[in-house]
Amino acid sequence: MRDFFDIKSNDNALFVTEQCNNHCLMCCQPPRNVDDIDKLYQKNQHLIRSAPKELKVLGITGGEPTLLGEKLFDLIAEIRQFLPDTELHLLSNGRSFANEAFAQRLAEVSEGMIVVGVPLHSDYERDHDKISGCKGAFAETMYGLYNLADAGVPIELRIVVNKLNFIRLPHIAQFIFKNLPFVSWTAFMGMEQTGLAHKNHNAIWVEPVDYVDLLAQAVFYLGSWGLDACIYNIPLCLLPETVWLHAEKSISDWKTQYSAQCDKCLKRQQCCGLFGTSSEEYVGLNPFMS
Ligand code: SF4
């Protein structure tokens, strides 16, 4: 994580803690039980005060930012004061919002300038709990999603595709339509092979070539009900052309890397590329030559 803001970057964020109450099998930033909240809070106060006023979007990430409790709302209030035109993108596992009052506080303090990105690992409770490393996480995340929606907070639902959930992608899409149709959009995300995803490679890793057809089914299903879906972190050459419209240049600019094969690819400008932080390239890269 950088400790300065770059107005031209697609990824400016405040890192607020290494602590987390989940322990996701593919976490790229493995949690640590360290007493870091106050120290990082002070550092982030300086960053907020020195940030360019024209910053369009500012992320808040960790660890799990809601573990800051009331301090998270103090931080957001400071952002609203010093960066009144900046939208916020908070990454959270959503569990703290199972407390209705906590969700309402977020809505109040963020003044309609926030989107919360919440991962849902499966439509099946046991799979979600297994992937998130915490029994009961699914129920709390679902309550959290309902409470955020009730408070009027926009939600980006994030599905990190992995070996334990890819087979259910069409079922997950049906679950979203039936139970979470209020989310602003659903993002299907390729995994970054670093941190715990690297450590748990055998249990969790799956190549995009093995799931892109199921992914396309899920995207089309959501689209058939008028629900928005995006694809993050998967290069165009691994996706069926029918879903290219949903693919975004999602990888943080400072993490983006292209393979030597990409040098001759005609779609390089439109393609998200690869995680420079991943320990291995995706299988099946295939440059467009005409
Ligand atoms: S070859 Fe490289 S630039 Fe071209 S689509 Fe694949 S990953 Fe993207």
Task: Evaluate: CB of 237 within 6 angstroms of ligand 1.
Answer: yes
The count of structural domains within the chain is 1
Structural domain contains residue 95: yes
Q: What pLDDT, on the 0 to 100 scale, is given for residue 9?
A: 82
Residue 174 lies in a domain: yes
CATH code for position 125: 3.20.20.70
Structural domain contains residue 273: no
- Per-residue pLDDT 10s for the chain (290 aa) are 666 788 778 889 999 999 999 999 999 889 999 999 999 999 999 999 999 999 999 999 999 999 999 999 999 999 999 999 999 999 999 999 999 999 999 999 999 999 999 999 999 999 999 999 999 999 999 999 999 999 999 999 999 999 999 999 999 999 999 999 999 999 999 999 889 999 999 999 999 999 999 999 999 999 999 999 999 999 999 999 999 999 999 998 888 999 999 999 999 999 999 999 888 889 999 999 98
Is the minimum distance from the CB of 262 to ligand 1 under 6 angstroms? Answer: yes
In a domain, 276, yes or no: no
What three-state secondary structure class fits 18?
coil
Number of Cβ atoms within 10 Å of the Cβ of 184: 14
Q: Establish if 201 belongs to a structural domain.
A: yes
User: 3-class DSSP state for residue 188?
Assistant: strand
Using a cut of 0.75, tell me whether the model's pTM lies above it: yes
pLDDT at 220: 98
The whole-number pLDDT of residue 2 equals 63
Using alpha carbons, list the distances in angstroms from residue 251 to 123, 209, 211, 231, 256.
26, 19, 20, 11, 6
Does any domain span residue 2?
Answer: no
Testing ligand 1's pocket by substitution, the residue of 207, 259, 290 carrying the most ligand atoms inside 8 A of its CB is 259
Report if residue 285 sits inside a domain. no
Domain that holds residue 214: 13-255
267 in ligand 1 pocket by Cβ < 6 Å? yes
Residue 150 contacts by C-beta under 8 Å, 6 or more apart in sequence?
100, 103
Asked if residue 8 belongs to a domain, the reply is: no
